[in-house]
């Protein structure tokens, strides 16, 4: 009865952890789709450097969604935060390759919204990574995926083992020692067969 309750509790906790992972992955997927719009915006305003960087980051977002591992989301968060620093610097001072930001007011507004999106995507990516790691750590706990053996199972296993040793001992007594050997072949009771010499 206790074992069934523990299994039910483990399944409830597993469902709760998985729902958290699924929720944050859906939020990250929405941010990924929104970031694809900025890729087209940079190329539409002839900002090739921003378009290439945005495209690379968009591919990183997609790879993290497909890979679904802790390291992929952490790396994506680092890339997102790094590109946010580049955008904020280019908005403040003219950078080579990002000269269009200083001359085009509409592109500057687009980049401000993209900067906010990147600053939001970085912690969301970290949150997804942490939820995935917590879920995997929970699944690795003993008794979650593979149930622990109960005390009754251990007792029956010990009874069967002692009965096998006793049967082997009786069989050796009935057959007698083997011919041509000068040592005892009898296995003492209470010792496993592998310990006999």
Give a three-class secondary structure readout of the chain: CHHHHHHHHHHHHHHHHHHHHHHHHHHHHHHHHHHHHHHHHHHHCCCHHHHHHHHHHHHHHHHHHHHCCHHHHHHHHHHHHHHHHHHHHHHHCCCCCCCHHHHCHHHHHHHHHHHHHHHHHHHHHHHHHHHHHHHHHHHCCCCCCCCCCCHHHHHHHHHHHHHHHHHHHHHHHHHCCCCCCCCCCCCCCCCCHHHCC
Lowest mean pLDDT among 18-22, 38-42, 79-83, 178-182: 178-182
> In terms of pTM, does the model score above 0.75?
no
How much is the mean pLDDT over the chain?
Answer: 76
Flag whether pLDDT at 156 surpasses 60.
Answer: no
The confidence score (pLDDT) of residue 167 equals: 64
Flag whether pLDDT at 148 surpasses 50.
Answer: no
Q: What residues does each domain of the chain span?
A: 2-139, 153-195
**Between 3 and 71, the higher pLDDT residue:** 71
**Between 12 and 185, the higher pLDDT residue:** 12
The confidence score (pLDDT) of residue 189 equals: 46
């Amino acid at each position: 009865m206790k074992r069934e309750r523990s299994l039910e509790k483990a399944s409830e906790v597993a469902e709760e952890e998985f729902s958290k992972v699924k929720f944050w992955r859906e939020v990250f997927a929405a941010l990924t789709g929104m970031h694809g719009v900025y890729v087209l915006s940079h190329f539409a305003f002839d900002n090739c450097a921003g378009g290439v960087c945005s495209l690379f980051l968009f591919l990183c977002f997609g790879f993290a969604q497909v890979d679904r591992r802790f390291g992929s989301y952490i790396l994506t968060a680092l890339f997102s935060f790094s590109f946010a620093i580049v955008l904020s610097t280019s908005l403040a001072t003219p950078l080579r390759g990002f000269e269009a930001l200083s001359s085009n007011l509409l592109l500057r507004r687009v980049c401000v919204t993209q900067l906010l999106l990147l600053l939001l995507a970085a912690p969301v990516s970290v949150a997804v990574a942490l939820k995935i790691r917590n879920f995997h750590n929970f699944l690795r706990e003993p008794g979650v995926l593979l149930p622990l053996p109960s005390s009754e199972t251990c007792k029956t296993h010990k009874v069967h083992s002692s009965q096998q040793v006793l049967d082997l001992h009786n069989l050796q007594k009935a057959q007698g020692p083997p011919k041509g050997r000068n040592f005892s072949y009898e296995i003492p009771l209470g010792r496993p067969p592998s310990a006999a010499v």
